[in-house]
Structure 1
Amino acid sequence: MKKEEVNFQKSDKFSLTMIPGAFARSLRTNIIWQFIRFIAINIKMIIVVGKSH
């Protein structure tokens, strides 16, 4: 059984908290992807601030 599926077994400790899969974990720890997201978020912020001025 996968680690992600253990949290959804029927038991007294049933939790609806999602555990990220391997792909999501790899994106969260990938430095290149984090840098791309950082740039994208900064561009969005510049646009929003630019509209308010």
Structure 2
Amino acid sequence: MASCRSESAAPPHLAGAPQPGSVNPRTGKRYLKAGYAPATINHALTVVASF
């Protein structure tokens, strides 16, 4: 079945929102990156492999 949206396409960036991975000037913390962290991917692969 064909989809209107590509499965690998990232959602468009919202106007006025900070870029993913940039640093918040007030707190000094990084904003979340677009996508999953490597630790999350590794955890998911470990859980799936245990089945």
Q: TM-score category by the smaller chain?
A: 0.3 to 0.5
**TM-score normalised by structure 2 residue count:** 0.36
Q: Greater helix percent: which structure? A: 1
Structure with higher Rg: it is 1
